[in-house]
Structure 1
């Protein structure tokens, strides 16, 4: 075993570059049969057509003061639907209106179609503490809108056509945020994401306060974790842990399988005791591609490794069911058994920053893509400029209905970075499918809601 590991690490001798390693972990890690036996999925066309963004004259201020182009698949067009500063998470109401969270102002806005004119944008609810996620959910013929704040979860009774929120109920109070005395204002990921299942259970992601620290694993409530509640906020319990910053919580349609996109840690130290003598050091070329971001199903009682174990994409299994490496700072002695952690089903390129997650099944999005899922990749900061930025796109994963796992990632929309300078002019966050089958995309950097439309007449 030690000889094979030495061969694996030899690629790092004399240079520290981003490479794909052939790891012994493949020999000692059982790859689930569903991965080995999954037939090739039908992959729809990826983003390949450089397409001018259609912008109404009333919305043609920066960054649309010049022509902008995005890559989309053949037969698609993309336009600017609305301009909303720092737009984050979005949700389409049962009547077709769009709700948009704006954490920086403490508001959730409502966007209403207005025929051929610009949509009407107004305040739906104000005075919130950094509102983030928005979920519609019906219980016994009553439809609620759940809205997360950084310190609590609210729900409002919704009736079709409502343009302001009413009948507010705080269902979960006292969630940790930067006001906690022990955190002293230092909470890196205090925005909350939520989901509800068919049994009317509410799931709340309480993300980490730090990049990588032990304190979050022993706090009360646990941070870097997901908690489950009844829909009215009663009966709280820890559901899963070891998830640094789980965003875009969503259930696979027709199931109670909870899936999340996870922003993994930055500035990881080199984890291998090899001839490079880099163990425990921050090596930029290693940081560029490690650890993988995570797109995974979350089980009741699961532990997904953070901050003690980091998923390694450098094996023959690549981004599927990655083995874990011990963190050289927080788990150097192996006190936490990484082999006991739940494997991450699907990795994403490190530092892509996955945020909003939308399953396309049971929507009116074009049928060629409707058996799949999209993730907004907000984009990297923790990579060397010469290595190239990653993320800044809408990623699409075809879905295997038999194994219930995602296939290989393709780009659905890309181009928010400039090809020469790699400076970005937009950062996608979340997606939602409207009643006409268009994909709406929020962008908190340019302050835009885009509409990706399929041109069926072509």
Structure 2
């Protein structure tokens, strides 16, 4: 009788335990599903003020965005490149073609007010606000040097200029004889007030950059005042986007990789050493990678291979046929690339969304501006890519589109090329476009 009486209790315990485990599994599953934000899926008409409705906005334009987002034209700035939001909400925008950095100020419901913040620079490019002790600086890169200006909230023009780094190579450098394909400079500063400067390659691929002084295809570190230059990392052909993972000193970069790569495999295809368009289309991938002190990321001797079991994650290297066919450079000794992006996408700006007011579903991730291809049989890029950040593994998860539509697939028409992104104080994502000359505003519609 005792045994008979216990059985229902055991059965009830079993049912409750199973139910509890099912609920826990459901919770984990639901959390996992909900934690992945939706990608761009809604074709949305671009909102354009009548004062800005000139080409390419003299006809209706559409961008694909995630649900509950809208997108509008915020300002028109010819050949707008990199951006930074000031502590008071003003927006600085570089315009290398005119030697200016512009300031864009909100103006209520009217068009923003655009004026010159600083002029007379040599192709200014990247802009970073950085506070050291009680002083806020604006660092602005030129092709040949790095400046910083002391900033006070509300400043409308640059003041108290200090030139902190000089002698950077550009097209005026004697040995380069007026030719430097990637002379624009990108910068970042870490929590210890160290300044990082990307010195990109002068070429598609060449050995000369690896033995020049300073090395090109490299990143150098300085103190915030420009002293104590040292090589930080190399083998990075053209690191455009430099950004630190918030609350860390982990430097991440977006890299434009080489073009017209020769087929590197001695297989039965007969393609060894040839330029095969179908291979060039997808090789080597562009790079989005964490950069360590002392790292070497392979260029121009080793190219990341996206065709193994790990796909675009932590990619092994192939020997470059042109510069390393005999394996004189050990590709196994190179630092692997964290994440690959479709070849020829041309990633430029890189912006982490942590510690911003961008919608929380997306605020643990990073966005990259994919400027778009010029030498691929079928065009690629022309969009804002989003990578969720996995805080457990400290890796980037699968790429998804946040905004696309600047390339019209059916016609292959291109009407915009995104460059950089910045989050304003209200949580909107501002996007620069140097092709149409536009600053867009991507906004989340709360309550919709």
The reply to whether TM is greater than 0.5 is yes
Residues 52-451 of structure 1: pairs in structure 2 closer than 5 A: 52-384=45-377, 388-451=378-441
Instruction: Give the Cα–Cα distance (whole angstroms) in 1 for the partners of residues 284 and 33 of structure 2.
Output: 26
Query: 2-side partners of 1:41 and 1:210: how far apart?
Result: 45
Residues 347/165 of structure 1: CA separation in 2 closer, same or farther (3 Å cut): same
Q: Could you tell me whether the CA contact under 8 Å between 1:85 and 1:444 is conserved in 2?
A: yes
Contact 1:352 1:377 in 2 (8 A): yes
Q: Deviation of residue 247 (structure 1)?
A: 1.2
Unaligned runs of 5+ in 2: 1-31
Q: Provide the rounded CA distance (Å) in 2 between the counterparts of 1:220 and 1:148.
A: 19
Listed one character per residue, the Cα deviations across residues 40-60 of structure 1 (whole Å, up to 9, x for unaligned) are 993200000000000000000
Equivalent residues of 1:41, 1:398 under 8 A apart: no
CA deviation string 1:410-447 (max 9, x = no partner): 00000001131112000000000000000000000000
2:13 paired residue number: none
Match in the other structure for 1:8: none
3-state SS in 2 of match to 1:118: coil
Distance 2:272 2:36 in 1: 40
In 1, the alpha carbon distance for the partners of 2:381 and 2:252 equals 19
Count of paired positions: 417
Stretches of structure 1 that go unaligned for 5 or more consecutive residues are 1-38
- The structure whose Rg is larger is 2
CA–CA separation in structure 2 for the residues paired with 1:40 and 1:319: 23
CA distance in 2 between counterparts of 1:334 and 1:89 reads: 39
Cα offset, 1:172, TM superposition: 0.2
Tell me if structure 2 keeps the 8 A contact 1:41–1:400. Answer: no
CA spacing shift, 1:40–1:296, aligned 2, 3 Å: farther
1:289, 1:192 → 2: CA distance? 27
1:27 is matched with which residue?
Answer: none
The DSSP-based 3-state class of the residue aligned with 2:231 is strand
Q: Measure how far apart 1:279 and its partner are.
A: 1.0
Could you list the per-position Cα deviations for residues 199-218 of structure 1 after superposition, in whole angstroms to 9, with x for gaps in the alignment?
Answer: 00000000000000000000
- The normalised TM-score by structure 1 is 0.90
- The structure with higher relative contact order (CA 8 Å, sep 6+) is 1
In structure 2, what is the Cα distance between the partners aligned to 1:383 and 1:423? 14
* Local SS of the residue matching 2:176: coil
Residues 343 and 424 (structure 1), Cα distance of their counterparts in 2 relative to 1, 3 Å cut: same
1:42 is matched with: 35
TM-score by length of 2: 0.92
Give the C-alpha shift of residue 402 in structure 1. Answer: 1.5
Contact 2:99–2:124 at 8 Å: present in 1 too?
A: yes
- In 2, Cα distance between the equivalents of 1:57 and 1:329? 53
8 Å CA contact retained: 2:139, 2:146: yes
Question: C-alpha deviations, 1:380-402, integer Å up to 9, x for none?
Answer: 11211xxx211100000000011
Q: Secondary structure at the match of 2:112?
A: strand
Mapped to 1, the partners of 2:325 and 2:409 lie a distance apart of: 40
> Is the partner of 2:111 in helix, strand or coil?
strand
Write the deviation string for residues 318-368 of structure 1: whole angstroms up to 9, x where unpaired: 000111000001001100000000000111010000110000000000001
Secondary structure in 2 matching 1:267: coil
Q: Distance in 1 between matches of 2:159 and 2:394?
A: 38
Partners of 1:321 and 1:397 lie apart in 2 by 15
- Alpha-carbon RMSD: 0.9
Q: CA deviation at 1:185?
A: 1.1
**Residue aligned with 1:330, SS:** helix
